[in-house]
Amino acid sequence: MHQGHPMRHNNAHFHFAPALSIAVACFFMVTSYAVQAQRGQDLLTQIKERMPLTDAQEDSIQKLTAEYRDELRKYRETFQDDREAMRIVVRERTDTYYKDVGALMNENQKSEYEKLIAEIKERTRERLQRRSQDGRGLPRP
């Protein structure tokens, strides 16, 4: 008995659904972590908008940001199959990054920097809350 072309089978979409789901999840995960890495540069921009930095501070922040981005890329490769572990590691590394950058601030800058980081964390919390309310757990386009 001829079974016909597998693509024409009534349940053909079930054969592709898992692969499609994985592809979509990977796309959003990569996009999310690309955005996360971009935030490192955005942090420098936001700091400079709020306070003057010395050339040495700016250079040090750029170096820390480059290290942070490199580590995020490694995490993406290492934890590509474990999204929850990646989320935890990225959160911890981001907190360390913020502390390292904060250590470069002088006494006059620390208060404003701490306010900025609190605002960034609040926006992140709100964004994650919106995602969970959407029921998708994926970044919004």
Give per-residue pLDDT as tens, 7-57. 555 555 555 555 445 544 444 444 444 454 445 558 899 999 999 999 999
Q: Whose CA is closest to 40, among 93, 115, 76?
A: 93
Q: What angle (nearest 5°) sits at the alpha carbon of residue 98, between those of residues 42 and 25?
A: 65
Distances 10 to 5, 19, 121 between C-alpha atoms, Å: 11, 18, 48
Residue with tokens 């306070």: 51
pTM listed for this prediction: 0.65
Residue 38 identity (one-letter amino acid): Q
Residue with tokens 């490199």: 70
What is the tens place of the pLDDT at every residue in 64-91?
Answer: 999 999 998 998 888 888 888 888 998 9
Contact 96, 118 (CB under 8 A): no
72: exposed, middle or buried (C-beta count within 10 Å: 0-12, 13-18, 19+)? buried
In this prediction, what percent of the chain has a pLDDT beyond 70? 66
Q: Reduce the DSSP state of residue 11 to 3 states and report it.
A: coil
**Residue 140 zone, left/alpha/beta (φ > 0; ψ -120 to 50; rest):** beta
